[in-house]
Amino acid sequence: MTVDLDAAVFVAGHNGLVGSAICRRLRRVGFRRILTEPRSRLDLRQQTSVLRWFEQNRPDYVYLAAGTVGGIAANSNRQAEFLYDNMMIHANVIEASRRVGVTKLLYLGSACVYPRLSAQPITELELLAGPLEPTNEGYALAKIAGVRLCDFYREQYGCNFIAAMPTNLYGPNDNFDLESSHVLPALMRKFHEAKEAGRGQVEVWGSGSARREFMYVDDLADSCLFLMDRYDEPGHVNVGTGVETSIAELAGMIRSIVHPDAEIVWDTSRPDGMPRRSLDVSVLAGLGWTARTDLEVGLARTYAWYLDQLHGDEAATAAGLRLGGEHHGFDGKRAEPSRADRSQVVVS
């Protein structure tokens, strides 16, 4: 790394799926000054508070991984909140970073920002090339504004602000609340609860035909540190695995790990979302970075983590799953309560 390990690094959203993985990776690499602030002490939607915090703490590097995030249901039912919260958070953190002279900022965009009918796999050039997916338009508009802010701040102020566009992510610290989670943790929880309750059927939203790309979050964190170190250009960079998986295939893999005897019942009255979405990752590959964690390996690690949160490590061990692995990095040393402590993961 050319980034100084004594640099002050602020991870906004450190309790979340992405932020916690970035913190794990930073610790693993040896960064000594990782700055975090719980939402209860710093609401990133509040401009004055954000600016004051930046003036007091003077970070050198910023990973902007905070935001209001969720699956199809949360996105489509709470569009105003997704648009407002994310616009405010991104604008406040980016502007405060400029004002205090942050050396470099990495903004987390999302593959959801690309048009609904983008050519697949989606290249970086598809941004703003067509209408958005209506079910997450509010979120997408905010994320697009964040991506463009980074480029405009570079153009107008000379700020070294970059943007990564991750595909669907999963892993430790994911949100398993069925009301607001993404498809992968929702499926994992549904299969788990069916197994615990002795139910032989699991209902899954949609037809199973939609195709997505799923990336283990510790791979994403690794790519973020890589980009922070090596990428200083305008324009966002896609981050993904380059591997497409249908929801039916994903459900099948999760069933094998969690509840192999279950029958899957498709609820086709529910929306599928975009028919296909996977990212063209050739720009990132050209820079020298590729993802390493196979989906089945990542799913097993995630389920081990989930069981650990519910019942402790013995349950994961008893199920033949382990929390280890070079990329896992979960060390149980979170400064804040884990997401699982705070959300409704516990199955009664």
Which residues make up the interface to ligand NAP (CB under 6 A)?
Answer: 13, 15-19, 39, 43-45, 65-69, 89, 108, 110, 143, 166, 168-169, 175, 182
Residue whose Cβ sits closest to ligand NAP? 16
What residue has token string 């997704």? Answer: 82
Question: At a CB cut-off of 8 Å and minimum separation 6, what does 66 contact?
Answer: 12, 13, 16, 19, 44, 89, 93
Tell me how far, at minimum, the Cβ of 253 lies from ligand NAP, in Å.
Answer: 17
Q: Are the beta carbons of 251 and 260 closer than 8 angstroms?
A: no
Tell me how far, at minimum, the Cβ of 86 lies from ligand NAP, in Å.
Answer: 7
Tell me how far, at minimum, the Cβ of 90 lies from ligand NAP, in Å.
Answer: 8
Q: Is 239 helix (H, G, I), strand (E, B) or coil?
A: strand
Cα 239 from Cα 216, distance rounded (Å): 11
- Kindly name the residue from 61, 107, 114, 139 that is annotated as catalytic: 139
Nearest to 106 by CA among 42, 159, 54: 159
What residue has token string 């890589």? Answer: 226
- Helix, strand, coil share (%) of the chain residues, nearest 5: 45, 15, 40
161 vs 259, which CB is nearer to ligand NAP? 161
What residue has token string 């990095």? Answer: 329
Tell me how far, at minimum, the Cβ of 312 lies from ligand NAP, in Å.
Answer: 22
84 is catalytic: no
149 vs 262, which CB is nearer to ligand NAP? 149
16 vs 206, which CB is nearer to ligand NAP? 16
Question: At a CB cut-off of 8 Å and minimum separation 6, what does 126 contact?
Answer: 114, 115, 118, 119
Q: Computed from CA positions of residues 313, 202, 72, 127, in that sequence, does the dihedral angle turn out positive or negative? A: positive
92 vs 195, which CB is nearer to ligand NAP? 92
Helices (H), the chain: 17-29, 47-57, 72-77, 79-100, 137-157, 183-197, 217-230, 247-258, 282-287, 295-311, 313-318, 339-342
Tell me how far, at minimum, the Cβ of 139 lies from ligand NAP, in Å.
Answer: 7
Tell me how far, at minimum, the Cβ of 317 lies from ligand NAP, in Å.
Answer: 26
213 vs 262, which CB is nearer to ligand NAP? 213
Sequential DSSP letters for 47-96: HHHHHHHHHHH--SEEEE-------HHHHHH-HHHHHHHHHHHHHHHHHH
Q: Computed from CA positions of residues 101, 102, 104, 107, in that sequence, does the dihedral angle turn out positive or negative? A: negative
186 vs 194, which CB is nearer to ligand NAP? 186
89 vs 321, which CB is nearer to ligand NAP? 89
Tell me how far, at minimum, the Cβ of 116 lies from ligand NAP, in Å.
Answer: 17
Q: Which two tokens stand for residue 60?
A: 């050198």
The catalytic site residues sit at: 139
